[in-house]
Structures are given as structure tokens and as C-alpha cells.
């Protein structure tokens, strides 16, 4: 438990997690929204870009999701539940997949989570809600409605209710159901379970203390309600699309066991930082890139983040900043350029030198998979003739050293 896996959740669930091992799954996968996000993280330095578009249309996206939902079904316990968070773009397609995989009779709720941020159209009603589908693995699922219930308000006879005390001394109210003419009794000391439309939990606001800058970050209160209702202490919670880690940070606070998965090394770093701020240190991360081949396969922004954040403990350069400077080292704030390529030549040195001259620094770093003879010669000339040190580091050197 308390593990962060870096990788495709389908592969991790198939290879790392046994059948009937998870009590609760919450997943907030990339929506089929055809948008491209470019986001500055909470430290306003590390740039995070990701694209949630699938070529081939919504059918391809739904098939991609179905594979992962089948893996979720396999690892879920018979008493477990799955909550799938989605929006209007593909919710109808995902509902059909859930019916096929879990069974339409295992459907429990279509929760409508309402919020008020974002733009509004003059041509249609504003789209201001997400959908959360709740399915159980079997009819013997765990649910603790009292754990998320609201305090009841005492009614009056004028509203069709009769208040009394039973033989055990418990106060109750019998409310008239006009459609049937019969009374429904509920006890006033029992909390009212929320309906399946949630308007009391707002989305992350720009001034929110928990805001990290993740484009689809969900509020902790939303996850708290789901986890309190569908898991208890020592239960295992899984989030296959962990993102910035809201599910698992809430699970940790509620003393639940948890497992988080995300394909992005940057996301894993963000989650580990989030746990560190919460004074949680014993979090294990598995699957982060450890070989040259794995680093070659990273997306460019992931590779850049690995170099600057993981190996230099530095900061990503500001968006729109000096061309040729991708980030800065820790403490000394020396410029860094990252090249995810081989045989770097002298022209790269020249461009980096021009960027360095716009700073006050006389030392900088270029990181690449390999460098040509011309690059080494020019770096040596600059150090000897002009006193400017451009340090050429290969990825293999960074791996062997563990950092700079």
C-alpha cells in the first residue's frame, strides 16, 4: 500500500494488482474533450502540457476506456464499488461500457456534480455539471450513507409531519407522502443521506488553498464524500488516473490504504511533493524511468521535467522566457538547456551562449544523449578564452550520478 505507480494503468493493473484486491476505485480519466492544455503547476514554474485527444473519434476513446474498465472490474472485490467521473462529451458511451462490463443491474447512481465556474454560452444553457457513475461489483457492496449524511431539520405538523417518540425514546417524524396517502417514518437522530445531485461542493477556485494548477483538479471535499460513503479504515482505494493526487491525499487523511497510478513522471513528482507538504514521507514510487531507453521514450516536456526537476532539483524556465534556456539549477540559478537528441553540435553551443549572455551567469549546462566533437571543442574554447563554462552532460552521466 501507499504506492505510486508510473505507467499505463492498464499494464499496472494487469501485472501488479491481483484479482479481488481493491475495495474502492475512483477514476477521473482524461475526458474526450478535444482540448489541449498547457498548464503552469502550483510553483508557477514547472510547465505541464498534456493532450486528451484521441485520433479516430469517440468510439476509439470508448474502446480505450473499456480495456481499462475491464481491468478495474478484475481487481475490484465483490464488496467493492467503482466511481467513474466524466463529462458530457462521452458519458453516454462510457455508461454503455459500464453496463456491459459490470452489468446494468449493478448500476447504483448517476451522480450529478454541479459547479459554477467556466464560460457560458448565449446559444444554449450553460454546461455546469459533471457526471459520476457509481457501479458495484455485486449486490453485497459496502455503503455507509451515515458517514456523509446531513443533520436533519425538525419538521412541523403544518408540513404534513407528525413528530413523536417511540418506545425506545428515539424521536421520529412521520411525513405524509401525498401520492400514496401513507406516512414515511424517519428518525431525527439519523443523518439524511445526500441525493444524487450535489450542489454544495464547488469546484476549485483560483484563490483556493488546495489549488495546484492541474486543469481538471477536483476538490478534496468531493473525494471525501465518495470515500467516506464507500470505504472504511483498512480498505484499499485505487485511483488509476491519479493526476495531482487528490484521491490518495484524501485517502491518506481518512486512514485508508491507497494505490495511485499515473502515466506521467511529472504527475508522480507533483504527488510526492504534495505528500511531503502533508508531512507524509513513506510513499513508494515504482516505474519511474531509470534507463536511457526509457528516457528516450518520454514526451519532450516529461523529459525536460525529469532533467531539471529530478536531476538538478531546479526550476523550469518561465513560459515565453529566453529562447535556449529551459530551466535553472537549484541555489545558484544557473541556466540549463535540455536536448532530447544525439550528436549535439557547435550550433547548439552558440545559441545557448547567446541566451547566457542575456543573464549574469558565466556557467550553464546543456543536457543531451550525446555530443559531437565540435560541441566539446567550442565548450573548451569558451572556458579557456572567455571564462564562460558550458558544462556538457549526457543523460547516461545524469543517471549514474543521480543528480548534479
- Quick: pLDDT tens for 228-265: 999 999 999 999 999 999 999 999 999 999 999 998 88
How far, rounded to the nearest angstrom, does the alpha carbon of residue 250 sit from its chain's CA centroid?
A: 12
Using DSSP's 3-state secondary structure scheme, residue 280 falls into: coil
Judged against a pLDDT cut of 70, whether residue 154 lies above it is answered with: no
Per the domain annotation, does 149 fall within a domain? no
The pLDDT of residue 48: 52
The pLDDT of residue 156: 46
Angstrom distance (rounded) from CA 403 to CA 313: 8
- Burial of residue 184, with CB atoms counted within 10 A of its CB: 0-12 exposed, 13-18 middle, 19 or more buried: exposed
- Same structural domain, 115 and 253: yes
- Same structural domain, 100 and 202: yes
Per the domain annotation, does 345 fall within a domain? yes
Number of domains composing the chain: 3
- Burial of residue 394, with CB atoms counted within 10 A of its CB: 0-12 exposed, 13-18 middle, 19 or more buried: middle
Per the domain annotation, does 192 fall within a domain? no
Query: Structure pTM?
Result: 0.83
Mode of pairing for the β-strands spanning 47-51 and 327-328? unpaired
Contacts of 4 (CB under 8 A, 6+ apart): 242, 248, 260, 261, 262, 268, 271, 272, 283, 284, 285, 286
Q: How many CB atoms lie within 10 A of CB 271?
A: 24
Domain range holding 171?
157-187
Please check whether residue 335 is in contact with residue 363, taking contact to mean a CB–CB distance below 8 angstroms.
no
Domain boundary among 226, 251, 286: 286
- Same structural domain, 26 and 114: yes
Per the domain annotation, does 9 fall within a domain? yes
The pLDDT of residue 8: 93
Q: At what angle do helices 220-230 and 246-253 cross, to 10 degrees?
A: 60
- Same structural domain, 270 and 213: yes
- Same structural domain, 64 and 7: yes
Amino acid at each position: 500500500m501507499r504506492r505510486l505507480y508510473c505507467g499505463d494503468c492498464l499494464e499496472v493493473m494487469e501485472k501488479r494488482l491481483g484479482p479481488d484486491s481493491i475495495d474502492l476505485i475512483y477514476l477521473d480519466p482524461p475526458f474526450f474533450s478535444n482540448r489541449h492544455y498547457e498548464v503552469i503547476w502550483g510553483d508557477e514554474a514547472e510547465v505541464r502540457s498534456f493532450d486528451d485527444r484521441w485520433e479516430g473519434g469517440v468510439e476509439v476513446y470508448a474502446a480505450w476506456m473499456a480495456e481499462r474498465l475491464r481491468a478495474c472490474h478484475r481487481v475490484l472485490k465483490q464488496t467493492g464499488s467503482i466511481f467513474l467521473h466524466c463529462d458530457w462529451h462521452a458519458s453516454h458511451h462510457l455508461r454503455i461500457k459500464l453496463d456491459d462490463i459490470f452489468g446494468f443491474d449493478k448500476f447504483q447512481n448517476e451522480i450529478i456534480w454541479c459547479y459554477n465556474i467556466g464560460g457560458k454560452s448565449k446559444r444554449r444553457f450553460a454546461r455546469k455539471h459533471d457526471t459520476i457513475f457509481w457501479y458495484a461489483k455485486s449486490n453485497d457492496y459496502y455503503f455507509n450513507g451515515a458517514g456523509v449524511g446531513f443533520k436533519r431539520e425538525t419538521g412541523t405538523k403544518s408540513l404534513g409531519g407528525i413528530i413523536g417518540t417511540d418506545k425506545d425514546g428515539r424521536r421520529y417524524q412521520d411525513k405524509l407522502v401525498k401520492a400514496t396517502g401513507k406516512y414515511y417514518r424517519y428518525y431525527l437522530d439519523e443523518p439524511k443521506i445526500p441525493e444524487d445531485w450535489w450542489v454544495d461542493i464547488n469546484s476549485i477556485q483560483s484563490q483556493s488553498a488546495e489549488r495546484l494548477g492541474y486543469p481538471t483538479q477536483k476538490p478534496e471535499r468531493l473525494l471525501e464524500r465518495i470515500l467516506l460513503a464507500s470505504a472504511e479504515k483498512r480498505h484499499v482505494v485505487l485511483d488509476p488516473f491519479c493526476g495531482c493526487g487528490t484521491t490518495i491525499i484524501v485517502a491518506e487523511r481518512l486512514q485508508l490504504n491507497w494505490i495511485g497510478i499515473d502515466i506521467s513522471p511529472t504527475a508522480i513528482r507533483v504527488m510526492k511533493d504534495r505528500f511531503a507538504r502533508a508531512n507524509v514521507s513513506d510513499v513508494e514510487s515504482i516505474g519511474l524511468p531509470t534507463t536511457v531507453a526509457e528516457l528516450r521514450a518520454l514526451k519532450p516536456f516529461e523529459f525536460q521535467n525529469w532533467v531539471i526537476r529530478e536531476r538538478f532539483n531546479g526550476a523550469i524556465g518561465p513560459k515565453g522566457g529566453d529562447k535556449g534556456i529551459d530551466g535553472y539549477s537549484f541555489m545558484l540559478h544557473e541556466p540549463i538547456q535540455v536536448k532530447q537528441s544525439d550528436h549535439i553540435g557547435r550550433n547548439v553551443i552558440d545559441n545557448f551562449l547567446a541566451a547566457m549572455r542575456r543573464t549574469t551567469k558565466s556557467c550553464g549546462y546543456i543536457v543531451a544523449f550525446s555530443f559531437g566533437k565540435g560541441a566539446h571543442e567550442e565548450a573548451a574554447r569558451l572556458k579557456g578564452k572567455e571564462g564562460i563554462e558550458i558544462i556538457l552532460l549526457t543523460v547516461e552521466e545524469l543517471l549514474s550520478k543521480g543528480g548534479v
